[in-house]
Chains A and B, each alone.
Chain A
Amino acid sequence: MSSSSAHKKDATTAAERARSLDVAAILQGDRHAFEELVRVESPRLFRVILRIIHDEDEAQSIMQETFLQAYQRLDTFRGESKLTTWLYAIGINLARAALRKQRRYQTLEEGDIEGLQPQFSKGMYAQKPEAWNPHKITEEADRRRLVHEAINKLPEDYRMVILLRDIEELSTDEAAEILDISNGAARVRLHRARQALRGLLSNHFE
């Protein structure tokens, strides 16, 4: 089985188990129900946090703190989103706070992102997009490394929306909820992030 199909199968199994979570019992503080939440969501939450923080030990520590805070703050969950969306918002906020302390990665500035957006003149592209050379994007390992590096160059706000929407495939509503922005703002940010990423990849693939 390829890593891709294994990943999809794991995701499907996790999704099935997530649907069977007893949210009412979790919200009542039932420890067994909460333990099932930990078992079901730990692998994915760890992966998301690791993608932000890039350090396995710290990712595990942040994930544990996420579940601890979630359990202690269950009475603040207002039921306006899915419980898992609320859980991910806690984890991602903790991971972003830790990332700001690290300041390990040099990322692009907002002006760079603007420069990667297409420009228009009288409603038409000011510069015609060059075709990507298929021979330059066929080496899988190189391709994944380049894309990974390009994503890591994006400013944090843009990287987060790509992570949640395109990599974790959450809905735009869920991504907006986690990032604490409106659906409209999430869509604008996502579009700018994808266009910036496309621009960065064009440097390699044209």
Chain B
Amino acid sequence: MGTFSNLRRHIMLTCQDVNAFIIDYLEDTLEPGLRERFETHLKRCSICNTYFEQYRKTIALAKETGDTSPKPPAEIANATLDFLRQHLNPDDASSRNA
């Protein structure tokens, strides 16, 4: 088992491996040895590097769309509180607090 693990640590990752590990790399959940092999592959492989940068750009572009979300109506919380006062049974809170 240990020998197999040592062997794996030194085998180069394929492009397919690197692709499968992208999400773990970005979430920082790769164990250090694998992270190093991932980064080494990216430095040496322009195809994976291009794909990885586009993957990261895709996340950034998705995030950017959130910055232009319509502003909620100013009185949205008060309108919700009015709605709740109309729809909640007055006994509801007292029965919970009893």
Q: Mark A27-47, 1 if CB is under 8 A from B, else 0.
A: 011110001001100110011
Which residues of B lie under 8 Å from residue A198 when comparing CB positions? Answer: 54-55, 58
Q: Is the CB of A7 within 8 A of B66?
A: yes
Q: Is the CB of B80 within 8 A of A63?
A: yes
In this complex, which of B57, B68, B80 has the most chain A Cβ atoms within 10 angstroms of its Cβ?
Answer: B80
Pull 21 A–B residue pairs with CB atoms less than 8 Å apart, ordered by A.
A4-B64, A38-B77, A38-B81, A42-B72, A43-B72, A50-B70, A51-B69, A60-B73, A60-B76, A60-B79, A64-B84, A120-B19, A125-B51, A131-B50, A166-B59, A167-B63, A194-B55, A194-B58, A195-B55, A197-B62, A202-B54
- For the complex, give the distance between the alpha carbons of A148 and B23 in Å: 22
- For the complex, give the distance between the alpha carbons of A10 and B57 in Å: 24
- For the complex, give the distance between the alpha carbons of A167 and B66 in Å: 6
Query: With an 8 A cutoff between CB atoms, is A123 at the interface?
Result: yes
Residues of B within 8 A of A (CB): 14-17, 19, 22-24, 27, 47-48, 50-51, 54-55, 57-59, 61-70, 72-73, 76-77, 79-81, 83-84, 87-88, 92-93, 95-97
Tell me the smallest distance from the CB of A162 to a CB of chain B, in Å: 6
In this complex, what residue of A is CB-closest to B78?
Answer: A39
Which residues of B lie under 8 Å from residue A201 when comparing CB positions? Answer: 54, 58, 61
Query: With an 8 A cutoff between CB atoms, is A68 at the interface?
Result: yes
The prevalent SS among residues of B at the interface is helix
- For the complex, give the distance between the alpha carbons of A65 and B54 in Å: 39
Tell me the smallest distance from the CB of A146 to a CB of chain B, in Å: 9
Tell me the smallest distance from the CB of B38 to a CB of chain A, in Å: 14
Which of the residues B17, B51, B68 comes within 8 Å of A118, measured between beta carbons? B51
The prevalent SS among residues of A at the interface is helix
Q: Beyond the given A3-B67, A39-B77, A56-B70, could you list 19 further A-B residue pairs with CB under 8 A, ordered by the A residue number?
A: A4-B67, A7-B66, A29-B92, A29-B95, A35-B81, A56-B73, A68-B88, A72-B92, A118-B51, A120-B15, A124-B16, A147-B61, A162-B62, A166-B59, A167-B62, A194-B62, A195-B55, A197-B62, A198-B55
Given that A38-B80, A195-B55 are contacting pairs, would A147 and B70 also be in contact in the complex, using a CB cutoff of 8 Å?
no
Which residues of A lie under 8 Å from residue B95 when comparing CB positions? Answer: 29
